[in-house]
Structure formats: C-alpha cells, structure tokens
Amino acid sequence: MIERFVQRYSDRFISKWFILGFDLFAVLTIFPLAVFIKNNFQFTASDLELLDIKKIFLVGSVYLLSFLYTSSYKGVIRHTGLRDAFVIFKATSLALIALIFLSYIVDAYNLIYPNISRNIIVLHYLLTLLVLLASRFMIKSIYLNLTKNNNSVRRIRVLIFGSGAMGELTRQTLSKEVTKTYDIVGFLDDNPSKSGKFQDGLPVFRPEAVLKKDFIQLKRIHQLIIAVQNISIERKKQLIELGMDLGLKVKVVPPAKTWIQGELTSKQIKNVRIEDLLEREPIKLDSTNVTKELKGKVILVTGAAGSIGSEILRQVIHYKPKKLVALDQAESALHDLSIEVGDKIRQFNVDIEFSVADITNESRIQSIFERFNPEIVFHAAAYKHVPLMEEHPYEAVKVNVFGTKILADLSIEFGVEKFVMVSTDKAVNPTNVMGATKRVAEMYVQSLSSFSGATHFITTRFGNVLGSNGSVIPLFKKQMESGGPLTITHPEITRYFMTIPEACNLVLEAGAMGSGGEIFIFDMGESVKIVDLAKKMIKLSGLTLGKDIEIVYTGLRPGEKLYEELLANEENNLPTHHPKIMKAKNVEVDHELLTYQLKVLEEKLNIHDDFALVAAVKQIVQEYKSNNSVFSKLDK
C-alpha cells in the first residue's frame, strides 16, 4: 500500500496557496493560545477583550502581507532546508517588527483601534515560528520515511568524510534523493575534538577507527563520499586507497564553483577517477614573471589542436597577449578548438588567428611568419606515437626534425624573442625512432643558441600526460567498456605521469625563466607501474580482476622501453628558482657538424630508404640503441 502511494504521489506537490492558507490558519489559531499562555491558562469573561476580532484580523493581515512579501509559502515542503527555514524566520520576524511598531503608534497617538500587548505579540511570534518550522520538517520527515520504506527503492549505506558545512550539505543533498535511498551511517573527521560527538543525530568517527574491514562489514557500508574541499592531495589519495581496499565505491563532492546554478545535487557527486589517484599538489606559478613575458606579445603555438598545444593556448589567453596564432594541420580539431575557446576569447578580448598549415611546408610557414611576425613561439607540433613512428621513420624525421628546423630557422630570420620547444622523456637515451628524432630536434635547437642573436632557444622535457591523445588511461577505459581484457605490454613496465594543465603551466614558467640553450626537466614525481594503474582502474569501476575482467600481457612493442628516463647519462640536473623545474647540464652541440649531418639525413629522407634513414639518425644520436625493433641490427 505504501509502495503504491509513493509511486502515485511522489511526483506531486502541495499547492503553494494551500501552504499559504495553512500558514495563515496557524497564525490565527495560535493567537488565542498565546493569550491563554500569557494568562497562565486562566481565562475569565473580562479577558474576552484580549480576543477582540479586530486584533486577530490585524495580526492575520500583517502576517499575510509578510508571507506574500517573502514568498515563504512557495518552498517545496519535502525539500525543506536551512534556506527555507531562514525565509520563514524572515517572514515571521518582519511581522513581529511591524506589529510592535503598530502597537507603539497606537500608544503614542491614543488611537481608538484596540492595542495588543507587546508580550503577547512576542509570545505569538515565537509560537508561530515554532509551529511553521516544525510542521514543515515533520512533513518532510514523514515523506522521507515513506520513500525509505518503499522496498522498490535501493538503499545505499554511506560514510561522509568531513563533518563541517560541506559534509552537512552533502548529507542534506543525499536525503533529498528519490531514485536512491541513502542511509547516512555517520561522518568521518580528522579533527580529534569531533570524535565521539553527534551531528544532526549522526555519530562522528575518526577515519582510522572505522575504515576497517570488520566495521565496514558490520555496518554494511557501500560508499565513502569525500566532501571536504581543502583536503591535501596526499590525504585524499590515502582515503581513496583505503576505500578501494575495503571494496567501497568512493565518490567526491565537486568544487562549489562547478555546481549547477549554485546548487549541489546527488548526480554531481562523482565517482573517483584514476586521475585523482595520480593527482599531485597544485603548482604555484610565478604569474608576475609569466605575465611580463606574454602580455601584449604576438604568440605562435604550433600543434595547437593537440593535447599540449591546445592547453598552452588556453593558458596563454589568460595573460592577454596582443595576438595568438594557433597553427595545426588537423583541420577538424582546430575548428573544434576555435569553438571551445570562443567564450574565453570574448572574456579576455584576445585576438586569435586559427591557421591550418603543415610545419614541414617551408614556404607556407614563412608566409605565416611574414604575416604575423611572432615574438614568442611555443613549438608543440610533433609525431609522438612510438610504435607508429617505428613503422614510419620517414614521417618522424620529416616532422620532428625538419619541421622543427624550419620553425627554428625562421624564428632567427624574423627576430623571434623566444622559441620554446616541447620535447619528451623518450628523447633521453632513445630506443625508438620517435625519441631519437625528438633528440635530434633538441640538439639542433640547442646548437642555435650560441649564435642566434636575439632569439633564445629553450627546450622543455617531460613524460606522459594524463588524458592526452594515445594515453594509456583512455585506452583502458575503452577496453573496460567493451568488456576487456586490459592489454599491457609487460608486467614490469613503468611510466611517469603528469596532468596536461600541470605540464603546460611548467612550459610557460620554463619559457619565461629561460635565457637560451637550456633543457628544462620537469619534476614528474614517482614513476607508476602500469599494471598497478590497471588494477586500480578495475577497482574504481566496480569490477573484480579475474572474475569480471582480465589483464593480458602482449609483449613490448617495437621501440618501447620498460622504464623512461628524464636525464641522459652525461647530463646532470641543476636546480632553478622553481622547485618543480630542473635544468639539464648538457654537453655542447657542434652546430657545424650537426648541420652537415642533417644534410646527410635529408639526402636519406629523399631516397625513402627507412634503414638508411634510421642509420643516419644513429650517427647523430650516438646513444640511440633500438629496442625490440627491426632497426636493432643497425646497432651490431
């Protein structure tokens, strides 16, 4: 019967006019009660004048006008919260002030209209406020109990980390959910002074005391929701790991600025992502230094439609350059980017030119330099996919080496102030064509620093970025969606990871601090074992390894390393003023010799012989030793 009632009436709401009528009825009936209480429940015939109909009409009229003015009757009763309670408090308080003011007017001018005792006015106000609030919360409680007792609605038992304002708001949000019934078992809080206390009838626990297998099983906990916003990254990771190990679904409350129309809903409380476990403390930028470097300048970004290039573009917009030139050969991706950053363009009043061009087309790139005369170049365009470039060394050499050379040479010709190249950790002791070609590009850019005049050449080097094109995480997500298995090349393979915004922050900072010839290396944190990453993603998705999904090892791909490096054997890292950026102390590059070697490389490029081409690259990059590749025989 209750189930049918809930299903039939759960989408219906009490009319606001009915609520207004009820509130007014309460005001009128409470007035005699206030008189009774004022007279110690003793009522004689001489007290009838206290219940003069004119007085009751005056009280009712004042409260009615106050209700209409504040719209206190428009709230949805089943969702009554602190804001609704405040509106009722505001409405009744306005009526109180008005009635007291009128009583003074009557006294001051000896008006014929019967006056009301101010003690009764105040007592009536307190009773009215109590009844209006109690009635709403009672109806809300009855409704929630009915929905909770509905067997067709799933019950989810939850622990909320954070007993402050955000924790309480999360509890209120979950209590309003209709499609799922949340039983809040209690709050968790790191503050020891809160341990053992109750908040809104719910206990507050120390996390270490309850995040244990026995407690979770005893209380049948399903979810852990992290509501605290100012929690440290390390503590957040610790809680997520604990929750995952206990088989809980871990969720996080998003920042308030992302809430829809400023309101938190249960749908916005998201499942923890693997990115949350790889997240690090936010980088503090020297915004003054970067602003000085970029504001009012003409800036060219190559590879602007890619993962790194597009984020560099988004961040540079904030520094209000004179003009931004976004260059990429990917037409559709560049068009999508132009639509995406449209609002920022208008917000910051930045002039952006989107140019479709191939960096290996020298005449086309020269025309862009002639037209825009860039002052700073961020060079992010490159081929970066290791196995594909192992199969297509011609493209890797053409784009990564000679595309970079064209841009670097034109930067000198047109007096570019700074040329910032985005490189990769795969350029260090390379074992594949992609990494080797990026190392050749690094060497050429470095070699120009000794005689490039006004142009300062700077290289930035870092590892994998989360969410980039070709990243392992999107691949694992797709494989899990299709039922698996998750494919990993080797059980011992590890990689460094960094978020795209973090990497691009450091590119801007390094570009600002560089004076020419440096290779800046970013602090990538600890390397991550890919198999551990896969296992955590499986846990976060609610699947069980070996039961719901499998992990399959496919063997190292051509050119692939087990471990990535950030420094070559002959390099030493030096600190900079930024704790996340180091500077590699490199061996000087002989520009004349490298120029000759590049001519030989170009000749090999033109004959389309992959082995001759890779052999020429190996002559330039002496430490390049192919791994698990058809080109390994060139090293013998």
Catalytic residue annotation: 426
**CA–CA gap between residue 447 and residue 440 (Å, rounded):** 10
In this structure, which amino acid lies at residue 85? A
User: What is the distance between the alpha carbons of residues 451 and 444, in angstroms, rounded to a whole number?
Assistant: 12
Closest CA to 98 of 65, 126, 130: 65
The phi, psi pair for 188, rounded to 5°, reads -110, 140
* Other CB atoms within 10 Å distance of the CB of residue 554: 10
Residue 234 token pair: 């390390």
Q: Which helix (H) or strand (E) holds 298?
A: strand 298-302
Residue (of 442, 586, 418, 424) closest to 515 by Cα position: 418
First-residue to last-residue Cα distance in the chain: 83
- Residue reference for tokens 């308080």: 93
CA neighbours closer than 13 Å in the CB half-sphere of residue 10: 17
If DSSP codes are grouped into helix, strand and coil, which group holds residue 81?
coil
DSSP string, 2-20: HHHHHHHHTT----HHHHH
Which parts of 29-71 are beta strand (E)? none
How many angstroms separate the CA atoms of 312 and 292, rounded? 16
Tokens of 205: 């626990």
Distance in angstroms (rounded) separating the CA atoms of residues 477 and 168: 33
Q: What are phi and psi of 309, to 5 degrees?
A: -60, -40
Angle (CA) 319 323 324, round 5°: 80
